[in-house]
Structure 1
Amino acid sequence: MLLAAIRRLFSEDYYVQIHENRYEILPLSPFGVSRSFPARDAFSTSRLLVGNFIAAEKLLRDSLKQINGGSRLKRYRLIMHPRDKSEGGLCEVETRVLQDLAYGAGAHDAIIWEKEPLSATQAKALWQSPQ
C-alpha cells in the first residue's frame, strides 16, 4: 500500500495516440493539453506502424521528457492507442511492440487500447478498472 502511494507520487498518466511517424500525447493530469510530436527519424514503414523500434522508442522517451520538463524521477502509466495501420486489430507481435515501447520509454504500466478514441475522463477511468 505504501509502495503504491509512493509510486503514484512520482508517476504521471498519459494517453498516447500513435499515428504514422507521429505521437499525440495527452497528459491525464488536470488541465492537460494534447501535444503532437512528429518523428525526426521515421519509425513507420509502408506495412508497419512501428517498423523502426529504436527510433519509435527514442521519440516516445524524448517526448515524455519534454512534457515532463526533463525530470528523471518521473515514471509513467501509458495508454498506447495505435491509430493508423491497425485495420482488423493487432496481432500478438504488434501488441508486444507497443508494450515494449511503453516500458522502454519509462512506463511502469501500460494499457494497449484498440477501440474508439478516448477523452481524458475515459482514459483516466481505464486505470480504475482496466479492460
Structure 2
Amino acid sequence: MTDASPSRRRFLRAGVAALPAVLAGCMGGGGGDSTSTREPGTVAVGPNGEFVYDPKELTVAVGDTVTWEWESNTHNIVVESQPAEADWPGTEGGATKTYDEGYTYEYTFEVPGTYEYYCSPHRNVGMVGTVVVEE
C-alpha cells in the first residue's frame, strides 16, 4: 500500500473526528429558536419534523390571540393545566384526534395565568408548551 491511499486507520480516525459535528446537527436545538421569523403570537407545531412547539413558552397579554401552525403531521394540543376561571379546550377531539401539516388553530386568551399543554402522541418525548397570559 502506498502513502497516497488512505489507510483504514486514517479513514476511521477521520470518521470519529467528524462524529461530534454530525451528532450536533442531528440532535439540534429542539425548537425554541429565538431568531424565529414567525409572527408574534404564533407557535409552530412540529417544525422541521421535530417533536416540539416553537417557541416552547410564549407570553401574551389578556385578549391576545395565539395561532398554532402545523408544520408536520400527527400533532394536537391537549390542555394539562390552566387558571380555574379559564375554559381553554385545546384542539377539537381531545387527546385522540390529531392534525397534519397545514392545519391552523387559534385561541384568544381572556384569563391571566399560566396555561400548560402537550401533544398526546409525543408527550413522552417532551412535546410540551406553555402560554403565560399577563394583564
TM superposition score normalised by structure 1: 0.29
More helix by share: 1
For the pair shown, which has the larger CA radius of gyration, 1 or 2? 2
